[in-house]
Structure 1
Amino acid sequence: MGINQIDKKSYIYLFLKYFVAFWHNRVFYRRIVILNREQIPQNAHLIFTGNHQNALMDAMVFLFGVKGRLVFMARSDIYKKPLIAAILYFFRMLPIFRMKDGYSEVKKNDKVFQKTIDVIKNKIGIVIMAEGNHGSERRLRPLKKGFARIAFQTEEANDFQLNMQIIPVGMDYSNYYDYQTELLINFGKPILVSEFIESYKESPAVAINQIKERLAESLIPLMVHIKSEKYYHLYNELREIYKYEMVKEMGLPSVNQPFKLQADQELIRRLEKFEEEYPEQMSGFQNTVLRFRDNLSAQKLDYEVVRKPAVSKFQLLTKWALLFVASPVFAIGWLLNYFPFGFSIWVGNKMSDRQFHSSFKFAVSLFLYPIWHLLGSIFVLILLGEWIFALGFFVAMPILGILARWYWVANTDFRKKCRWFRLEKQQSTDYQTIKTDQEQIFSQMKTVIS
């Protein structure tokens, strides 16, 4: 498939989309929350754009969060090999050529933009990441002009009669890198391109800047936006350290999404006010928070474990007994399912850009698991010679994988609680340092919140 067929219907693509959606929504993520999807206009000419912090996983947000057909815009350097280019076109992705690609390459944008005009006229949504590339921090970075150029040029090519709309989309990942995390997809109110047409006719450059500013203003309320660069890590760590207290302060029902986003935004707002009024306290506060984080990491602990007193020895023994009884089920599930998931984690963690870790874990596991699952079932059929046993294995394998995952999470939590129990009983220097820093952080946060 080439650029000219990118907006054509394909039953193979449709089948793959449903399979990938299952893997994305039911396997890779533990929970996906979608807000305000009803605000997306139906039967309209649309451009979707959002914050870009998680590489290719951000594209999946639009693919499975938006109902209807979409075409994606991606940077041109990944199209250099013909086979890769063919695959990308099959998956409805168009290249954008940049000045650093060379002037001769940039001229190719004329053909691409003409194709985007055809796509939008056919009421197929265009997805473009307005920041241009992905970042690793929870903030909206300066927007590029590509989305605005596409919007205005498409309107201009149709005598400004399309009534195009730009849909801002905020994305918030509880964890960028791991399996079974939480994802929030937050759709904003459409931005009418028609509001900027008169300005565009007078000065395209002015209109482009105006619509960029409007989009930025629309995206920031939909996401976690930490403006402070100097104290970014302070803000980001406190989102997790103080989340239960912040939720309680605001009267929210839980620390899950969408309430987590509300709590994060309010915490950031109050910290910004505190930073403005007491800038001299921020450096010491950040040092305390980062020391607290690093000491927990050195002890292989986390914020969840140390926010409560260590559990009793009886509770630990009870949990150990339950884990021991369940260990055979874990062992079987782990052996049957380790290769596709373990290999995907190994490959993902090899990527030098951490924001690509989850993308590779997703892609590799998506490719390997069905093959591994099928080969295992065929092996059982050959070994035992009965279809019923092969079918039983086919059904049992993913179930045992789920149980193994639950066991792994429970065992990891148990080991952390054991370490925290041991530190508390020993009253070691490490324990005293962690508790002192924790008390200082919570005391300071009470001042910030009040």
Structure 2
Amino acid sequence: MLLYRTLRFALRSALGVFFVDIESTGEATIPERGPVIFAANHPNSIMDTVILGTRTPRTIHYMARSGLFKNPVVAWIFNRCGVIPVYRKQDDPSLTSQNESAFEAAFEVLRKGGCIGIFPEGQNAPERRVRDLKTGTARIALGALDTPDPPERLLIVPVGLNFENRDRFLSRVLVRFAEPIDATDFLADYAVDPRAAARALTDQIQERLRCVAVHILDNLSVELVEDIQKIYGHQLLDALADDAENRPELHTRYLEKIRASTAHHPSLDDTFYLKQRISDAVDYFLEHEPTRVDAIRQHIRAYKEDLDQAKLRYSFATRPPETLSLRLDALKLSLYAVFLAPVFLWGVLNNLIPFKLTGAAVLRADDEAKRAFTGLTVGTLLFNIFLAVQTWAIYALFGSALGAALYAVSVPLSGLFALRYWRQLARYRDRIVVRTLFLSQSRLLDRLLARRKLLLDELESLRETFMLAIQDAQEANEIGIATEIP
């Protein structure tokens, strides 16, 4: 499909600008040929299809709710990209009978060795949680295997889509492909009890999906998990890297970087892994020792209030003030701000209007979950239109093709630099404020340091308790298995 390949190329280029980084793990598990169903979580509306579609060279026929086809332009694009409409009961109960044709279309794609893309949660799930899955994915897989002339094998690949910040421009995304599930393993049970087999396959999809997508069981714990990661993440990564049994994939290079540098930035895969481990620990203590969770919430809240009072960020937690040099930072800031200010101003001058218009379009999006996709599409369109008009104006004004070409190259590069420049100034400002507090407001700083140490000690104690609980559970499980062996 030419339109699909063209859109994939264009969107991949746009994503490279919209997100600062898109990491993928587990791509080697994706079969190069043969029928495959990609079953992904659904945290970011239409952006999820864009991310997944650009992470694999295979053409994916998505199954999308029929309401999206009401727009004639969207319907035209979807039809030529092989999108299959699904009629949901909550949208229009009278149309659900048409889902038989949707299933038949999916069966045909799979019989031909193609790929289907499904979001089995059934709706957008913005919170960091994988909802209970619908059985539609399993029913399509098993139904395709139960048709005349079925494929010999059909694999389901669970995909975890993890957004660092789903609405923020220049944030990061992690796409994790799980080990495929062979649907043919459930075919014998399907012949006996189709409903039970579909449920069993769905449970396995859900289990693997929750391993590759951040799954925080209690929605009220999302902020707590985020706070703990920001305060304790570096030390936790150090502890887990020391324990090879916890996660062999935490390579020694991360451990070396942590110990050698105060400015270590772990990989996105490690970041989301840490978040999931923290979430697991929070769930454990909510069940077994809820008072400790309440206590840590209160201490974090007090710590954040002190940070707000001092107008500091979490960077204070990972870089103590005694490691900062006021003179050196002031010198760096001054040189950086003065010598690169012209580049910053050039980027702002040439990009401010499309940037502001894109921001306004994002805020007017009818659905919060569509903001990222709105920013991607509207921003790409506006920036390219303005760039074309401005480049033409430069050529018309000066009559130099070379000058116009250099201008066209400078505009997007200087625009991206302007964003980085502004954020870098904010970081330098924070470091100088911390050092200034160290010199002038020792009482407030002492309170911050005391709260920070108390928090880290408490979190380390919780980690040790949680790891012992895991070890005890594993030993009990091994003993149980051993007693069952004759």
**Following TM superposition, by how much is the alpha carbon of 1:353 offset from its aligned partner in structure 2, in angstroms?**
4.4
Q: Tell me, yes or no, if structure 1 residue 386 matches structure 2 residue 376.
A: no
Task: Tell me the SS of whatever aligns to 1:167.
Answer: strand
Describe the superposition over 1:70-110 as per-residue Cα deviations: whole angstroms up to 9, x where unpaired.
11122222222323322333444322111122232212222
1:22 corresponds to which residue? 13
**Following TM superposition, by how much is the alpha carbon of 1:38 offset from its aligned partner in structure 2, in angstroms?**
1.1
Q: Tell me, yes or no, if structure 1 residue 281 matches structure 2 residue 292.
A: yes
Pick from 125, 132, 135 the counterpart of residue 122 of structure 2: 132
Q: Tell me, yes or no, if structure 1 residue 257 matches structure 2 residue 271.
A: no
In structure 2, distance between residues paired with 1:435 and 1:352: 44
Task: Decide whether aligned partners of structure 1 residues 33 and 153 sit closer, same or farther in structure 2, where only a CA change above 3 A counts.
Answer: same
Describe the superposition over 1:98-151 as per-residue Cα deviations: whole angstroms up to 9, x where unpaired.
112223221222222222222222222111111111222222111012212222
**Following TM superposition, by how much is the alpha carbon of 1:212 offset from its aligned partner in structure 2, in angstroms?**
0.9
In structure 1, distance between residues paired with 2:363 and 2:436: 31
Counterpart contact for 1:378–1:390, Cα < 8 Å:
yes
Q: Give the TM-score of the pair, scaled to structure 2.
A: 0.83
Task: Tell me the SS of whatever aligns to 1:140.
Answer: coil
Residue 267 of structure 1 aligns with an amino acid whose one-letter code is I
2:214 corresponds to which residue? 224
In structure 1, distance between residues paired with 2:406 and 2:26: 42
Q: How does 1:154-193 map to 2 (within 5 A)?
A: 154-158=144-148, 160-193=150-183
**Following TM superposition, by how much is the alpha carbon of 1:387 offset from its aligned partner in structure 2, in angstroms?**
1.3
In structure 2, distance between residues paired with 1:297 and 1:185: 34
Pick from 96, 102, 108 the counterpart of residue 112 of structure 1: 102
- Larger mean CA deviation between 201-210 and 90-99 belongs to 90-99
1:4 corresponds to which residue? none
Counterpart contact for 1:243–1:255, Cα < 8 Å:
no
Task: Decide whether aligned partners of structure 1 residues 290 and 125 sit closer, same or farther in structure 2, where only a CA change above 3 A counts.
Answer: farther
Residue 341 of structure 2 aligns with an amino acid whose one-letter code is S
Task: Decide whether aligned partners of structure 1 residues 215 and 89 sit closer, same or farther in structure 2, where only a CA change above 3 A counts.
Answer: same
Task: Tell me the SS of whatever aligns to 1:126.
Answer: strand
Q: Tell me, yes or no, if structure 1 residue 309 matches structure 2 residue 320.
A: yes
CA RMSD of aligned residues (A): 2.5
Residue 427 of structure 1 aligns with an amino acid whose one-letter code is Q
Q: How does 1:27-426 map to 2 (within 5 A)?
A: 27-158=17-148, 160-251=150-241, 252=250, 253=254, 255-293=266-304, 296=307, 301-310=312-321, 311-322=324-335, 323-351=337-365, 353-425=367-439
Residue 297 of structure 2 aligns with an amino acid whose one-letter code is Q
- Larger mean CA deviation between 335-344 and 39-48 belongs to 335-344
Task: Tell me the SS of whatever aligns to 2:340.
Answer: helix
In structure 2, distance between residues paired with 1:191 and 1:127: 15
Describe the superposition over 1:32-69 as per-residue Cα deviations: whole angstroms up to 9, x where unpaired.
22112111122111110122212222212211111211
Task: Decide whether aligned partners of structure 1 residues 426 and 107 sit closer, same or farther in structure 2, where only a CA change above 3 A counts.
Answer: farther
Aligned residue pairs, count: 440
1:6 corresponds to which residue? none
Task: Tell me the SS of whatever aligns to 2:20.
Answer: strand
Task: Decide whether aligned partners of structure 1 residues 352 and 278 sit closer, same or farther in structure 2, where only a CA change above 3 A counts.
Answer: farther
- Larger mean CA deviation between 43-52 and 152-161 belongs to 152-161
- Larger mean CA deviation between 385-394 and 290-299 belongs to 290-299
In structure 1, distance between residues paired with 2:302 and 2:368: 23
Counterpart contact for 2:156–2:182, Cα < 8 Å:
yes
Residue 125 of structure 1 aligns with an amino acid whose one-letter code is C
**Following TM superposition, by how much is the alpha carbon of 1:274 offset from its aligned partner in structure 2, in angstroms?**
3.9
**Following TM superposition, by how much is the alpha carbon of 1:409 offset from its aligned partner in structure 2, in angstroms?**
2.1
2:482 corresponds to which residue? none
Describe the superposition over 1:219-249 as per-residue Cα deviations: whole angstroms up to 9, x where unpaired.
1221222223453432232122211111111
Task: Tell me the SS of whatever aligns to 2:52.
Answer: helix
Counterpart contact for 1:20–1:366, Cα < 8 Å:
no
Task: Decide whether aligned partners of structure 1 residues 81 and 350 sit closer, same or farther in structure 2, where only a CA change above 3 A counts.
Answer: closer
In structure 1, distance between residues paired with 2:446 and 2:374: 40
**Following TM superposition, by how much is the alpha carbon of 1:160 offset from its aligned partner in structure 2, in angstroms?**
4.6
In structure 1, distance between residues paired with 2:78 and 2:430: 43
**Following TM superposition, by how much is the alpha carbon of 1:301 offset from its aligned partner in structure 2, in angstroms?**
3.7
Task: Decide whether aligned partners of structure 1 residues 117 and 355 sit closer, same or farther in structure 2, where only a CA change above 3 A counts.
Answer: same
Task: Decide whether aligned partners of structure 1 residues 429 and 228 sit closer, same or farther in structure 2, where only a CA change above 3 A counts.
Answer: farther
Residue 371 of structure 2 aligns with an amino acid whose one-letter code is H
Task: Decide whether aligned partners of structure 1 residues 357 and 416 sit closer, same or farther in structure 2, where only a CA change above 3 A counts.
Answer: farther
Gaps of 5+ in 1: 1-8
In structure 2, distance between residues paired with 1:436 and 1:84: 57
Task: Decide whether aligned partners of structure 1 residues 16 and 164 sit closer, same or farther in structure 2, where only a CA change above 3 A counts.
Answer: same
**Following TM superposition, by how much is the alpha carbon of 1:306 offset from its aligned partner in structure 2, in angstroms?**
4.3
In structure 2, distance between residues paired with 1:265 and 1:146: 27
Gaps of 5+ in 2: 242-249, 255-264, 465-486
